[in-house]
Amino acid sequence: MLSIPTFPEVDREIIKSLAIYSDRELVNLHQLHPEQGKFFTALFCRYGAIVHSVVQHAVESQVQADYLFAIAWRQIFEELDRVKLSVNPEATNWQNWTVDITGSTLDRTEVPPADRIRSSLTAAPPPLKCYLERALDRIPPLSRLIVVMTQNLKWNEQRICAYLQGEGQKIPVASIPDYLAVGYRQLEAAIPDDICDLYLHGAGTPMLNSPSC
């Protein structure tokens, strides 16, 4: 039987303090304050178990369920930015809305075999992953390229250097770690401060330079 993962951010004071807000209020605050990630994270904590229980019915392995879970939350994250709030506070049942987005995501997502999935919910919980991906779009192209080649493609410094030189970037191999360090700093600066506090600065939490992220 597949299990529903638990996330330590549920018990963080910054998230617990938002329990007084309705779903609609959290969505509204998320849209009004894109520089803060706690409102989306609170919704994630509120509906994470429901979303995971939905995706479990579409796959056979825990790894595949966790993979779909992350993709569903990325879609929810994107939809929340553009969903229009009705004047009537009761017009939208946000639990049903979340389940509907999850279902439509499942319908158009092809799930790879479990042995080909390398992502980890422990290393990169969905809120962190969503804001990391958004931050990647906001840092300089060279920094983004070096970070992606290191983290996603697992290329070593020599291979990165050879690729960049082939693209006209005359960067010596010895300088790649420095460029990577700059890229990590730029990436962290582009992530909301509260997301950094929740996921990057606490003891035992994944860091930007972790290969699993």
What is the domain partition of the chain in residue ranges?
Answer: 8-117, 139-189
DSSP codes of every residue in 108-145: T-PPPPGGG----TTTS-HHHHHHHHHHHTTS-HHHHH
The size of the chain, in residues, is 213
Supply the pLDDT for residue 208. 53
- The distance of Cα 130 from the centroid of its chain, to the nearest Å, equals 3
Max CA separation in the chain (angstroms): 60
Ranges of residues in the chain whose predicted pLDDT is under 50: 203-207, 209-213
Given the structure tokens 């790649």, which residue do they identify? Answer: 176
**Does residue 56 contact residue 65 with C-beta atoms inside 8 Å?**
yes
**pLDDT at residue 119, rounded to an integer:** 85
Q: Which amino acid is at 209?
A: N
pTM metric for this prediction:
0.89
Q: What is the pLDDT of residues 166-196, one digit of tens each?
A: 999 999 999 999 999 999 999 999 999 999 9
Instruction: Give 121's contacts (C-beta < 8 A, 6+ positions apart).
Output: 5, 66, 69, 70
Residue 119 gets the label, from left (phi > 0), alpha (psi -120 to 50) or beta, of beta
Which one-letter amino acid corresponds to residue 52?
H
The rounded distance, in Å, linking the Cα atoms of 206 and 211 is 9
Q: What is the pLDDT of residue 90?
A: 67
Q: What is the pLDDT of residue 212?
A: 38
The alpha-helical segments, DSSP class H, found in 9-125 are 13-16, 23-32, 38-55, 62-82, 94-107
| Domain 8-117 = CATH 1.10.1740.10 | yes
In whole angstroms, give the CA distance from residue 202 to residue 8: 11
Which pLDDT score, from 0 to 100, does residue 118 have? 85
Q: How far apart are CA 146 and CA 177, in angstroms?
A: 9
Query: Nearest to residue 26, comparing CAs of 37, 11, 14, 39?
Result: 39
